[in-house]
Structure 1
């Protein structure tokens, strides 16, 4: 969850948040050591409020206009009341702090997020395979909020489902232009080039994404896929090991990751390691079931194009208990 938040916030904003925490925390700690008196507690409390205000601004920069409005409308008046609670007579403290917490709760009822309804409408169109209607719905939202990366990312995915590859590429390029430190635009382009079979370009953009989110197990998994297709087998092994070390736990991703590792070991002549890794594939029965359910979906054409052959090989390992390297990869080649 923390990794997801870091990836969403972006490296620059994460650094700003950490610096704000270090600065306010350090000043507060120094005051605690070198000074004494009631005023120290007052200043330390104000420093904590300064940190909360800084965090609100930093996080708010990543939100769209409606999200910013909700956040600032909820938090800033509450921080103002908290400041008054710190500097006002102590008898006022319970009332001002109670007012601050009460405002945060009450503000949620004053502001509604209209964006959610537009996403619900687009998803409804998407499930009915009316992709153009879904694209039109999100395009209206983008006209109102042209700098929100989430909207562009969602529309790019809709363009891909509708077969409008060039339009999807343009949306991902817009995302990069808006925030070059956000990995999603680069990983989106990498996914498109994987679908097109241009694995050199896919690796280029995937590495750019990884530079911006070096603890993402999903990006490491994507890089392993690309290196598998390019025949860079040692890189496949390394990327999957790193993905697991960084928290790759989803059975369906482990299923493919172990399969690619086994193929890599076999190609490098390390037969024993290859067969031991196939045994790990055999343990991912839940992952195979998940892939089978995904492939049955009428909207899974892209997934079938990229993964169907690998899933078929994993099926032979799990269902037919074929752990022999020759039977699996020899037959596939």
Structure 2
């Protein structure tokens, strides 16, 4: 058993590495993420200490099993604390009976462990269907209205959900998206502010707030929100990119260059945003009078010429009004630079 337990801890430690941090940071926030790492470090170190103690092998294996269970339970509780009340109840219904069956088979009736594990797994699968989230129907209806440009009806669907669950940040976030597409950024801003109140550790919430401030031309407010997002998630290219774009709007070339270069260091995954980063870098260097650096940025911009097609497809959509307001002029200027229709000096 001890070898299996050590292997389990090894796999858990690997799962808690950099890849997991990147995926879970925005959802959990730094406080819950730290709790998970402390839990993992504590149980892991205690397991290693038991291995080195030289005690009875059977007793060590039992204690390590208990430590593994402590980690699993603690991990689930931390994740569940992030979910809204409705999903916490669903999670309890799904996992509690299976966990009890596992404990009975492990410590009370070891001979029945295999069938109890089978029953536990069967319950997880069956209960996942029995207690599935019926609210998805409201989201589907809202999306259907959105695709038909029936914005008022889409907002009403989200209003009904928010009335039922006023502390669910995702409802406010989705309603804000609808409102922005509808051309009502003021109302969307109120929803994004509510999201930051419900989840002050969410970099994504502050990114959203920064973007709606940017849409409204409130650049200083956008900068403050983007700074907060970057504090919460400094290794995320999106937070650095947003700061670079906002500093561009404020005509702060040094700060814009710093954040845009930082975004590139964090491996921007798509060519569309790399294209805009090189465009903003070119403009920042022109404003600083560093024309050689600006020419190099334009060369990088031209290397991403194919991304213009993607931007055109996106901006041609009826529901891209907001995006056209924020990025349309920049994308057109980038196109003109690529096709040598615009002089560098015109960027200043």
For normalisation by structure 1, the TM-score amounts to 0.92
In the alignment, does 2:314 pair up with 1:294? Answer: yes
Cα offset, 1:209, TM superposition: 1.6
Summarize the alignment of residues 28-107 of structure 1 with structure 2, pairs less than 5 Å apart.
28-34=47-53, 35-107=55-127
CA–CA separation in structure 1 for the residues paired with 2:207 and 2:137: 27
- Whether 1:153 and 2:173 are equivalent positions in the alignment is yes
Report the CA distance between 1:38 and its aligned residue: 0.7
CA displacement at 1:153 relative to structure 2? 0.7
Question: What is the CA–CA distance in structure 2 between the aligned matches of 1:314 and 1:163, rounded to whole Å?
Answer: 25
Q: Tell me if the contact between 1:295 and 1:304 (Cα under 8 Å) persists in the aligned partners.
A: yes
Change (3 A) 1:241 1:36: farther
- CA apart distance, 1:54: 1.3
The runs of at least 4 consecutive aligned structure 1 residues that moved more than 6 Å come to none
User: 2:300, 2:132 → 1: CA distance?
Assistant: 48
Larger mean CA deviation between 45-54 and 94-103 belongs to: 94-103
| TM-superposition CA deviations, 1:46-87 (whole Å, max 9, x none) | 211121111111111222334323322222322222222321
2:326 pairs with 294, 303, 306, which one?
306
CA shift, 1:332, in A, is 4.4
1:229-273 deviation line (CA, Å, top 9, x unaligned): 111112222212211222311111111011111111222222222
Equivalent of residue 202 in structure 2, options 164, 176, 182: 182
1:216 corresponds to: 236
What is the CA–CA distance in structure 2 between the aligned matches of 1:70 and 1:247, rounded to whole Å?
A: 37
2 CA distance for matches of 1:26 and 1:226? 45
Residue 248 of structure 1 aligns to a residue whose secondary structure is coil
C-alpha displacement of 1:89: 4.3
Match of 2:297 in 1: 277
Contact 1:56 1:72 in 2 (8 A): no
TM-score (norm 2): 0.88
Aligned residue pairs: how many?
328
Aligned: 1:193 with 2:208: no
CA distance in 1, matches of 2:41, 2:105: 24
Aligned to 1:331: 346
Q: Which runs of 5+ in 1 are unaligned?
A: none
The answer to whether the 8 A contact 1:45-1:86 is kept is no
- In 2, the alpha carbon distance for the partners of 1:244 and 1:191 equals 20
Question: 5+ unaligned residues in a row in structure 2: which ranges?
Answer: 1-18
SS in 2 for 1:146: coil
Out of 261, 265, 273, the position equivalent to 2:281 is: 261
Q: Match of 1:13?
A: 32
Deviation, 1:96, is: 2.3
Aligned partners of 2:144 and 2:234: how far apart in 1?
35
How far apart, in 2, do the equivalents of 1:145 and 1:227 lie? 37
What whole-Å deviation, never above 9, does each CA across 1:275-323 have from its counterpart, x for those lacking one?
A: 12211111223421111011101121111111112111221244x2x3x
Aligned equivalents of 2:98 and 2:66: distance in 1?
13
Change (3 A) 1:273 1:48: same
Check whether the contact 2:237–2:268 (CA below 8 A) recurs between aligned residues: yes
Q: Deviations over 1:203-224 (max 9, x none)?
A: 0111112111222211111111
Structure 1 Cα separation of the partners of residues 107 and 188 of structure 2: 53
Determine helix, strand or coil for the equivalent of 1:61.
Answer: helix
